[in-house]
Amino acid sequence: MTTINDRIKILVDHFSDGNNSKFANEIGVSEANIRNYISKTEPKFSALEKIVKKFEINYEWLLT
């Protein structure tokens, strides 16, 4: 079972070749936020919305 943090890491790896800074720039957040999302912090809805819209990801998959 994967967590939202794991799924964000999967997206960073897939869309940005594992580069947190590149992914952060794509969605308009700081690289530190992406590091935190991957490690432990649950992202705010606004960050999730940016990810979903930018990369055309299914909300349900990302959240659950």
Please state, in angstroms and rounded to a whole number, the distance separating the CA atoms of residues 49 and 11.
14
Q: Are the beta carbons of 16 and 10 closer than 8 angstroms?
A: no
pLDDT in tens, 11-32: 999 999 999 999 999 999 999 9
- CB-neighbour burial class of residue 5 (10 A; exposed 0-12, middle 13-18, buried 19+): middle
- What's residue 1's pLDDT? 82
- What's residue 32's pLDDT? 97
pLDDT in tens, 27-63: 999 999 999 999 999 999 999 999 999 999 999 999 9
pTM to 2 decimal places: 0.93
